[in-house]
């Protein structure tokens, strides 16, 4: 599928949804989860990113999230994030992400549905009181005695209701959904592309056979998200 056709679809669309995953952030230097260099290749997510890990293995849980927080130091959005933020301003695109890094917001996106929460803020896991990020890093406890945790969604937890509901509503009325940099392995976000009656585009380094078979994408663009978004954005400017 050529960029001119995708640009035409964007121009015709009244309601655009952009749904991103970890592949959106790799070009900023943050590893994804399931690629050869992905986080889950070396660490079993069940040992670090679950409610059980938080409750019963706090030291390991804490080390894992502190390393992820430290890895955000100096990380900045790339051109792809900037283009998406621009499409939100100029085309009212709705942005939903599984990423916890807030790079869409740092690129200037005003509203983003953080479906898996954010790693940049923390709270007490017992009384839910917000706390300072530094307090989590230094392993302080809350005044109630509870341990601190990032505001991410752990395996075994529900997605934030507000983010989920607004994303589902936006997808249901969308005439164009652009899915970027996600393996579509994680429920329930992987259900979202099936909920639209509009066109659905998949942008990813590759499209696995079972993914191609499970979804009815109108276009599959394989390559780096930043390059493809630039190609589409340039085609939009030629119009």
Active site residues: 116
Torsion-angle region of residue 158: left (phi > 0), alpha (psi -120 to 50) or beta?
beta
Nearest approach in angstroms of CB 104 to ligand OAD is 13
What is each CA distance from 26 to 10, 43, 57, 60, 79, in whole angstroms?
A: 25, 18, 28, 24, 12
Instruction: State yes or no: cis peptide before 187, omega within 30 of 0.
Output: no
Q: Which long-range contacts (CB under 8 A, 24 or more apart) does 132-139 make?
A: 133/69, 136/62, 136/65, 136/66, 136/69, 137/66, 137/69, 139/62
Give the shortest CB-66-to-ligand OAD separation in angstroms.
16
CB of 178 to ligand OAD, least distance (A): 12
Taking CB atoms, the residue at the shortest distance from ligand OAD is: 23
Q: Decide if 93 contacts 111 (C-beta within 8 A).
A: no
Which residue is listed with tokens 């940049």? 120
Q: Which is nearer to ligand OAD, 23 or 198 (CB)?
A: 23
User: What minimum distance in Å lies between the beta carbon of 194 and ligand OAD?
Assistant: 15
Binding site for ligand OAD (CB under 6 A): 21-23, 26-27, 32-35, 38, 45, 49, 98, 116, 153, 155, 181-183, 185-186, 204-206, 224-225
């Amino acid at each position: 599928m050529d960029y001119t056709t995708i640009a035409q679809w964007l121009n015709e669309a009244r309601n655009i949804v952009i749904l991103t995953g970890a592949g959106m952030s790799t070009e900023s230097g943050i590893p994804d989860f399931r690629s050869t260099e992905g986080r889950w290749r070396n660490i079993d997510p069940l040992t670090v990113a679950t409610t059980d890990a938080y409750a019963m293995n706090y030291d390991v849980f804490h080390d894992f999230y502190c390393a992820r927080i430290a890895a955000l130091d100096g990380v900045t959005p790339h051109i792809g994030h900037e283009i998406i933020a621009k499409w939100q301003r100029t085309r009212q695109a709705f942005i939903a992400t599984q990423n916890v890094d807030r790079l869409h917001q740092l690129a200037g996106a005003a509203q983003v549905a953080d479906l898996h929460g954010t790693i940049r803020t923390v709270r007490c896991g017992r009384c839910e009181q917000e706390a300072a990020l530094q307090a989590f890093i230094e392993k302080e406890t809350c005044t109630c005695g509870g341990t601190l945790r990032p505001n991410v969604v752990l395996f075994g937890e529900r997605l934030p209701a507000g983010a989920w509901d607004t994303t589902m509503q936006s997808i249901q009325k969308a005439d164009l959904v652009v899915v970027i940099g996600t393996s579509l392995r994680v429920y329930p976000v992987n259900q979202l592309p099936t909920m639209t009656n509009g066109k659905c585009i998949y942008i990813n380094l590759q499209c696995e056979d079972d993914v191609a078979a499970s979804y009815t994408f109108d276009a599959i663009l394989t390559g780096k998200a930043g390059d493809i978004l630039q190609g589409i954005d340039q085609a939009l400017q030629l119009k």
